[in-house]
């Protein structure tokens, strides 16, 4: 497919640090449309999805902050992505905090019966209300997409991800409940230990082999997967992350595999950034994912 559909998700409901709602604007300002067009893609920008405002009344609902607003916004994201898929284009979502993936994957899993997912993130995002230390929903979307969590969130998507179809990559900050979840469901995780020991090329080969039976691959890339020296503009930075070059290699190998059917780049926070550095990294990685090469 040579058509890409852009959707901005100025979502800041899933966490408490302001500014991530400006992520889509920062990525657009860094030239994502122009970069894709230079690669020969036809780009249709759907603008930004409407994000509900948080309310004081629902500040915490069963250890879920902004639950109602997240649910309503996630439904809009789901419906917008369904429209993009019906247009036979590759959805590319710009965020925004990672809770937005609840809506993204609700649409993707409906369209693809056996989708594979690469969760490129410093965190597991596998908490449920009982295990979450913060109540922030951006720490729960992968669990929700697997069918675990509050029913108002899990019912947004009709079909759930299969644990064996998910690969976590770059993890280095997991809560106790997330570790238990990973072991219980026998999920494939490449922590930074494995990235260091094996090298990114081997990690990617193993990932693609693991997902070869799927209908395609959705990439959910949180910029905090990269070390903060490359991406300072994220809400939950963790030292010791994936390097800029390792991330480009991962994107290049995904492009070469021709398995990517959708993607989202999340957690860009311009308020915490340095001269839009993190958004520029996002655009560079997007270009590599869509086939940009030196020669």
- For the question of residue 45 being annotated catalytic, the response is no
- For the question of residue 227 being annotated catalytic, the response is no
Q: Pick the catalytic residue from 97, 121, 178, 280.
A: 121
If you write DSSP's letter for every residue of the chain in order, what string do you get? --EEEEEEE---TTSS-TTGGGHHHHHHHTTHHHHHHHTT-EEEEEEE---PPP-GGGS-SSS-TTHHHHHHHHHHHHHHHHHHHHTT-EEEEEES-GGGHHHHHHHHHHH-TT-EEEEESSB-----TTT-SS--GGGSHHHHHTT-S-HHHHTTSSSPPPGGGEEEEEE-B--HHHHHHHHHTT-EEEEHHHHHHH-HHHHHHHHHHHTTTSS-EEEEEEGGGB-TTT----SS--SS-B-HHHHHHHHHHHHHHT-EEEEEEE---GGGSSTTHHHHHHHHHHHHHTT----
- For the question of residue 121 being annotated catalytic, the response is yes
Q: Pick the catalytic residue from 12, 21, 138, 178.
A: 138
Q: Pick the catalytic residue from 12, 267, 273, 280.
A: 267
- For the question of residue 205 being annotated catalytic, the response is no
- For the question of residue 224 being annotated catalytic, the response is yes
- For the question of residue 123 being annotated catalytic, the response is yes
Q: Pick the catalytic residue from 12, 21, 125, 280.
A: 125
- For the question of residue 12 being annotated catalytic, the response is no
Q: Pick the catalytic residue from 123, 150, 218, 248.
A: 123
Q: Pick the catalytic residue from 12, 21, 98, 218.
A: 98
- For the question of residue 150 being annotated catalytic, the response is no
Q: Pick the catalytic residue from 21, 97, 222, 273.
A: 222
Q: Pick the catalytic residue from 12, 21, 173, 224.
A: 224
Q: Which residues are catalytic?
A: 98, 121, 123, 125, 138, 222, 224, 267
């Amino acid at each position: 497919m040579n058509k890409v559909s852009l959707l901005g998700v100025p979502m800041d409901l899933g966490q408490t640090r302001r500014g991530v709602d400006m992520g889509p604007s920062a990525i657009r300002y860094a030239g994502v449309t122009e970069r894709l067009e230079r690669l020969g893609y036809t780009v249709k920008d759907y603008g930004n999805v409407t994000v509900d405002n948080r309310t004081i009344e629902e500040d915490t609902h069963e250890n879920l902050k902004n639950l109602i607003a997240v649910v309503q916004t996630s439904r809009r994201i789901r419906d917008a992505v369904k429209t993009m898929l019906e247009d036979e284009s590759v959805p590319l979502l710009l965020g925004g905090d990672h809770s937005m993936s609840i809506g993204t994957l609700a649409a993707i899993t409906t369209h693809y019966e056996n989708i594979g997912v690469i969760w490129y993130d410093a965190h597991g995002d596998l908490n449920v209300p009982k295990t979450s230390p913060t109540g922030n929903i951006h720490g729960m979307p992968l669990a929700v997409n697997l069918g675990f969590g509050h029913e108002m969130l899990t019912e947004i998507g009709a079909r759930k991800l299969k644990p064996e179809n998910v690969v976590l990559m770059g993890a280095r900050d997991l809560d106790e409940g997330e570790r238990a979840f990973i072991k219980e469901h026998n999920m494939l995780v490449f922590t930074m230990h494995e990235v260091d020991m094996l090298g990114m090329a081997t990690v990617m080969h193993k990932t693609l082999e693991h997902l070869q039976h799927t209908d395609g691959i959705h990439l959910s890339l949180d910029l905090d997967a990269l070390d903060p020296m490359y991406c300072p503009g994220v809400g939950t930075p963790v030292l010791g992350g994936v390097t800029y070059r390792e991330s480009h290699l991962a994107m290049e190998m995904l492009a070469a595999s021709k398995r990517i059917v959708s993607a989202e780049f999340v957690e860009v926070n311009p308020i915490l950034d340095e001269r839009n550095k993190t958004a520029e990294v996002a655009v560079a990685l997007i270009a590599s994912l869509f086939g940009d090469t030196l020669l």
